[in-house]
Amino acid sequence: MTFYEKWAEAAYTSTGFFWMALWAFILGYAVSSLIQVFVSEDKMKNLMGDGSLKSMSMASFFGFISSSCSFSALATTKTLFQKGASFIASIGFLLASTNLVIELGIVISIFLGWQFIVGEYAGGVLLILISWLMVFLIKPNGLIQKAKDNLNQLTGNSEHDEHHNHQEHDHHEMNHSHHDHQGSKWDMVGHKYIMEWNMVWKDVTIGFTIAGLIAAFVPQSFFQTLFINTGGDGDYSFFTLLEHVVVGPLVAFITFIGSMGNIPLAALLYDNGVSFAGVMAFIFSDLVVFPVLRINAKYYGWKMSLFIIFLLFSALVGTSLILHYGLDLFSALPQGAENSITEQEHFQWNYTTFMNFGFLILSGFLFYKAKTSKHAGHHHEMAPKSPIMEKVLKVLAFASYAWLAVGLVLKFLIL
């Protein structure tokens, strides 16, 4: 196969992957937007004041119904911790908001089997429980206090004033929404929906483009070298699984594109013989990468940031191994991909096409409500992304569009 044929195949695969997942993205972000309009941050932090079972349960629940964007989750976690939520409840919220969210499970159901959905949600709970246990045993009370002091010193009184202004604005919006009945409620949902896409469009674009590139250009031997003992009968030793769950996060570190964009890459890893534990470790790794490390260091100081990385990495290694052996105990461990995701026909008249058309209409309605609204709506607080990194991501995203466009022309008009 020539380079141009591989280019065409890569572009076709990337767009096919996205077409498979489009309705799931729209549904997930629409549900997330609806929830964010009706559940306030004040309600969350008032129920997360200590490390009790009730606080951890509420933190997990609020994380479950929140946005899955890592940067949004980091900012909300910071605010909850500063305003009175306990450290472990804040970590519980962070883990739940990036691993237990609805839209992530839907996308996993499209690209991977039911076992991975079970792994995602059961694993999310295990991540929280293991982190809770480690904090209880280590008792990093001095580190937690220094982190809170660092955060208070960083934000000072300005954040209090800003939050007060947001509360007044939100109160005005809510009163106005009652006056305007359901119309402005949908306006706010529309604004939230657009903001969800604004947070993830670059990551999703780059992630799906990379997935197509890997499918077309990267040979299976590469994965067999990176993840030892792949491509066999699936009978992995403990040390093989341990290598997989350590290398999985390293791959995520290199290709950091967010949890939603990582799912097609996870499917490709599984297609190429990586163990269930290794794939789950890769999926769980969106919070142990350098951008997150840097943001936590800015909020809490480097010592706490490194402790959080140690805490989450240890939790995901343990969780991935427990899930693997747990499913194996019940003979429910997946036995390799039945049909390679790259060999599936992505564009055909099936339920995916009709679901996409239906949810595109919903998406258009939400965009229309946001654009024709006279109200600004609510806004996510976002973690302080690097301006240089954001520019690089934007350039890469537009370069991806150009790559895909030329590849599709080659696929359908030239080759």
Give CA–CA dist 13/131, Å, rounded.
38
pLDDT score at 158: 42
Identify the band that residue 402 occupies on the pLDDT scale cut at 50, 70 and 90: very high
Work out the number of other CB atoms within 10 angstroms of the CB of residue 392. Answer: 12
The DSSP line for 210-225 is HHHHHHHHS-HHHHHH
Task: Name 81's Cβ contacts closer than 8 Å, sequence gap at least 6.
Answer: 87, 90, 147, 148, 151
Helix (H) or strand (E) segment spanning residue 13: helix 3-38
pLDDT score at 223: 84
Give CA–CA dist 347/352, Å, rounded.
9
Task: Give per-residue pLDDT as tens, 28-39.
Answer: 778 777 766 776
Task: Give per-residue pLDDT as tens, 47-94.
Answer: 777 778 888 888 888 888 776 567 777 877 887 888 788 899 999 999
Give CA–CA dist 208/328, Å, rounded.
31
- Average pLDDT value for residue range 124-142: 94
Look at residue 233 and give its three-state secondary structure: coil
Give residue 333's identity as a one-letter amino acid code.
L
Helix (H) or strand (E) segment spanning residue 269: helix 259-271
Task: Name 208's Cβ contacts closer than 8 Å, sequence gap at least 6.
Answer: 14, 15, 17, 18, 261, 264
Give CA–CA dist 174/161, Å, rounded.
20
